[in-house]
Amino acid sequence: MWGGRFSEGPDAIMEEINASIDFDKKLYSQDIAGSKAHVAMLAHQDIVSGDDAKAIRDGLDKIQAEIEHGEFTFSRALEDIHMNVENRLADLLGPRAGRLHTARSRNDQVATDFRLWVRDSLDTLDGQLAQLQFAFVEKALEHAGVVMPGFTHLQSAQPVTFGHHMLAYVEMLGRDRSRLVDARKRMNESPLGCAALAGTSFPIDRHMTANALGFDRPTANSLDGVSDRDFALEALSGASICAMHLSRFAEELVIWSSAQFRFVTLSDKFSTGSSIMPQKRNPDAAELVRAKVGRIIGALNALLIVMKGLPLTYSKDMQEDKEQAFDALQNLSLCVAAMTGMVKDLEPNKKELKKAAGSGYSTATDLADWLVRTLDMPFRNAHHVTGSLVAMASERNIELHRLSLADMQSIEPSITEDVFSVLSVDKSVRSRLSYGGTAPQNVRKQAKRWLKILEKDLADQQ
């Protein structure tokens, strides 16, 4: 490729550290699309002839077909996907294949290819995340009134509904999708035509190539165009937050499906057994989702570290931008698919959930609220009275609603029989009617609102 300047070939170790074809061959489709857009523009601008442009486009189509049919031989000696494609094009067309590289560099070529790949990945993820939201919403609507314990510090706090818990993840995933959509908008500028770093003296039309590749506009500064990897960093940042959300639910599934909790049952499709213990049902899919967040966050950290000390514009360090990004976004896609399957098959164990919802004095806040609402007691006083009643129940090893009226009146004489009306978990959750609260009617309303949104999103994506 640069034989005119060098008299010797690279050392074997240099070839080993320099080659990227083992992973950047994933970019073949984007690389060929960029080349076709580029040569069409060159012909339109009379920089290359129409005949040469057509021959090059036909050759690129043949190369794409060879790759897709497994008939293409990738060479590590040619370093990367760009030179592998260009070399094969030269085999097919001879010297005129070299006209394709007029007015561009591998610097703007790889920046364009990588943007296209990340953009395609975000589009795929958006559709997958919408499907996962849909699965959560359907589960929420189906189980809007199922009572379960809500936790803080993993200690029983207040009763909530299973549907409300499902909708919490719908909200998280909605923010994840929003972040990825925002990242996509910012990345949707074309570096093609920035050439090595300074632009080109050829009369190219960068708006034409940007439009052909679905970009909103060309990048405005050639130095920034070839050196920017913010688009990958933003995508990995959004992916890391999303993976963290998936990991939180995966952790809950691991806990909930244990023999100690028995809150939910995972299907056989997403569980495994033990090689020695025949009774075991292991939530391996959830555990793997929980684990993969490490490699996704690691990819973000790795790219931040690669980029942090680079002067403008392109440095070979930036070859390390792709391998981990490929891995991270593909693994996130796999995690979303696995989580969607788990959520669809998930079955809450209603009796266990309700039993647990009433443990740990979970209606204590309802008692304190009753004291404020009925006896006009300042909340801090009500908190103290309720704490004393919980301490009494705890000493006797009974639930709060098992205390007699006389027991309660020994702490606060003004308490009446009506207090027992708020101490059941069902009445507790039904009372939480504030916007965003856990009341079943709230859950149904929010779930139906989300269904409309997601049905439209999924229809638009088809």
Cis peptide before 272 (omega within 30 of 0): no
Dist CA 63 CA 52 (whole Å): 16
**What's the rounded mean pLDDT across residues 300-325?**
96
pLDDT at 85: 98
pLDDT in tens, 33-73: 999 999 999 999 999 999 999 999 999 999 999 999 999 99
pLDDT band at 273 (very low <50, low <70, confident <90, very high): confident
Q: Which residues are catalytic?
A: 153, 274
Least reliable range by pLDDT among 114-118, 279-283, 322-326, 362-366: 279-283
Whole-number percent of the chain with pLDDT over 70 = 97
Query: Hey, what are 431's tokens?
Result: 């009372």
Give, in degrees to the nearest 5, the angle at Cα 230 between 224 and 232: 125
Residue 7: pLDDT above 60? Answer: no
Residue 404 pLDDT more than 70? yes
Reply yes or no on whether the pLDDT at 431 is more than 80: yes
> Residue 289: which H helix or E strand, with range?
helix 284-307
Please give the average per-residue pLDDT across 102-121, as a whole number: 97
Q: Enumerate the β-bridge partners of residue 164.
A: none
- Among 435, 418, 441, smallest CA distance to 367 is for 418
Find the range with the poorest average confidence among 22-26, 48-52, 237-241.
22-26
Buried b (16+ CB within 10 A) or exposed e, 408-419: beebbeebeeeb
What whole-number distance in Å separates Cα of residue 462 and Cα of residue 453?
A: 15
DSSP state of 272: B
What are the tens digits of pLDDT across the range 175-186? 999 999 999 999
* Distances from the Cα of 321 to the Cα of 24, 75, 172, 279, angstroms: 10, 21, 28, 45
Q: Where are the beta strands (DSSP E) in 27-88?
A: none
348, amino acid identity: P
pLDDT value, residue 282? 87
Indicate whether 312 pLDDT > 60: yes
| Predicted structure pTM score | 0.91
pLDDT tens for 184-217 read 999 999 999 999 999 999 999 999 999 999 999 9
C-alpha to C-alpha distance for 361 and 323, rounded to whole angstroms: 51
- pLDDT tens for 126-155 read 999 999 999 999 999 999 999 999 999 999
How high is the pLDDT of residue 43? 98
Going by C-alpha positions, the residue among 279, 282, 295, 181 that lies closest to residue 234 is 181
At 136 the pLDDT is 98
Return the pLDDT at 392.
95
The label of the residue with tokens 């933003």 reads 234
Residues contacting 395, CB < 8 A, separation 6+? none
For residue 2, the model assigns a pLDDT of 47
| Helices 323-345, 284-307: inter-axial angle, 10-degree rounding | 150
- Kindly indicate the confidence band of residue 19, based on its pLDDT and cuts at 50, 70 and 90: confident
* Cβ–Cβ < 8 Å for 24, 78: no
Q: Report the chain's mean pLDDT, rounded to a whole number.
A: 94
Alpha-carbon distance of 92 to 4, in angstroms, equals 23
Please name the helix (run of DSSP H) or strand (run of DSSP E) that holds residue 455, with its range, or none: helix 440-461
* Percentage with pLDDT > 90 across the chain: 86
Residue 217 phi/psi, 5-degree rounding, is: -170, 165
The pair of structure tokens assigned to 95 is 């010297």
Angle between helix 81-93 and 106-142 (nearest 10): 120
Separation of alpha carbons 256 and 263, rounded Å: 5
**Strand 347-348, strand 264-265: pairing:** antiparallel
DSSP characters over 349-389: -HHHHHHHHTSTTTTHHHHHHHHHHHH---HHHHHHHHHHH
**Rounded Cα gap, residues 96 and 403, in angstroms:** 92
pLDDT at 360: 84
